[in-house]
A and B are shown apart, each in its own frame.
Chain A
Amino acid sequence: MYNTILLAAEEGAKEHNPIIPVWQEIVVGSIAFAVLCFVLMKFVFPQMEKTFRARVDAIEGGIKRAEAAQAEANQLLEQYRAQLGEARTEAARIRDEARADAEGIRQDVLAKAREESDRIIAAGREQLAAQRESIVRDLRAEVGTLAVDLASRIVGESLADEARSRGTVDRFINELGAGTGGR
């Protein structure tokens, strides 16, 4: 057993020392590794870097676009809010104006109505006064005629019955006095 080990070891030492490289393997390994390096470093990894960059661009571009959209939306929102506020104040203003207008119109109408009623009342009074005047005037004329009639009748009767005529005149005058005394 020991001999075989020794033999193998001797053989190994004679034929192969594991720490001394075999030059054919160096050649083969160099060529193989060079081929590998050439293909990967020329065709594969630059492509990957390109893809990585494109991916970063895509993501960053997407973020930028989203941010822009967000900003625009915010701006629009602000704008709408401002417009809404304006509209509200406008509406309030219009309401106030309308209220004021309505009040003015009401006052106007009221004043006009009052004026009209005053006017109507005044006109009625005037008419009444005028009628009264004309009636009084008519009455006066009538009273005169009546007086003349009466006088002529009294005179016509030739003052026969002085006492009776005196009574008639008195009664007449009294009637007259009662007629005019009312005023």
Chain B
Amino acid sequence: MIGQSTVLAAEFPPSVEDFYLPSILPWGAHDSYWFTKVTFLIWVAVAAIIIFFLVSYRKPQLVPTKKQWMAESAYGFVRNNIAVEMIGPRGVAFAPYLTTLFMFILLNNFFGIVPLVQISPNSHIAFPAILAVISYFMFIIVGIRHHGFFKYFKTALIPPAPWFILPLLIPIEFFSNFMVRPFSLAVRLFANMFAGHMLLLVFTLGGFAMISSNVWFTPFSIVSWLMTIALTLLEFLVICLQAYVFTVLTASYVQGALADEH
């Protein structure tokens, strides 16, 4: 126990390297990324979501069973409260993708506070980046399909403003609509998960560091671990919020691309 705690104490302060765990296959390799804890968790999340939905929706009935009701309310929540709310009646067409996105982010975020798992794949920017790029191309393609290529870029880039401000506005619009959006989406999710994991590490390892440096610091260590529990609850909030925000922003970008007026 003491030996383990000094090992954990030596890990303090946590660094970026704590996010890059040794590979599972081949075991312990540091430069292999094909099968690590995070990629494994991604597959677990995908499998869990697929199994949950397939099992609970194997035999859909008009009067739903409890499981069916749960699956339906997950879809219904994104469909009605995000897709239809943001995009309007046309949003129903986007509800399947948005629900998939929401469930994927939510479950992967949730790994951040599951005991013994406690790292979210979304704290590696690769995964938020994929999702952000999909959202980015999705809203552009939707816009082009709806308006036609030139008209879409015209409505997206040229705001209704006096002509002499346009040289200033067009670059700003371009920058905000076509350059910042994917980065802000990806980085927002990634940074939240990264910071959450970092916070939990700081307080957990900090407790071990204090208790192993001086026995009299034990009360502080206990406070530190209590903080870990409190922060885990806070993380739960962040997890749900970030999944919601990512989905809502994607829906809002699609809505903007579909909007006729600027």
B-binding residues in A (CB < 8 A):
5, 8-9, 11-12, 15-26, 28-30, 32-33, 35-37, 39-41, 43-52, 54-55, 58
Contact = CB atoms under 8 A, between A and B. Distances in A.
A45 B46 contact: no
A51 to B, nearest CB: 5
Interface in B66-83: 71-72, 75-76
A47 B75 CA distance: 11
A36 B72 contact: no
Contacts of B126: 21-23, 25-26, 29
B178 interface: no
A50 B20 CA distance: 44
Nearest to B183: A19
A51 B194 CA distance: 39
A107 to B, nearest CB: 77
B16 A16 contact: yes
A8 B46 contact: no
A5 B62 CA distance: 60
Contact of A43 (B46, B54, B131): B54
B104 to A, nearest CB: 6
Given A8-B17, A25-B126, A48-B60, A40 B50 contact: yes
A48 B75 contact: yes
A37 B60 contact: no
B147 interface: no
A21 B16 CA distance: 13
Contacts of B134: 33
A46 B42 CA distance: 24
Interface string B12-51: 0101110110000000001001100011001101100110
Interface size class of B (residues with CB under 8 A): 35 or more
B39 A16 contact: no
Q: Which of A9, A18, A25, A46 has the most CB of B within 10 A?
A: A25
29 contacts: A9-B15, A11-B15, A12-B15, A17-B16, A23-B126, A24-B39, A25-B38, A25-B124, A26-B126, A29-B39, A29-B126, A29-B127, A32-B43, A33-B46, A36-B104, A37-B100, A40-B49, A40-B99, A40-B100, A40-B103, A44-B53, A44-B54, A44-B57, A45-B95, A45-B99, A47-B57, A51-B61, A52-B72, A55-B62
Contact of A16 (B19, B75, B103): B19
Contacts of B129: 21, 26
Nearest to A59: B62
Contact of A39 (B34, B43, B45, B54): B54
A11 B194 contact: no
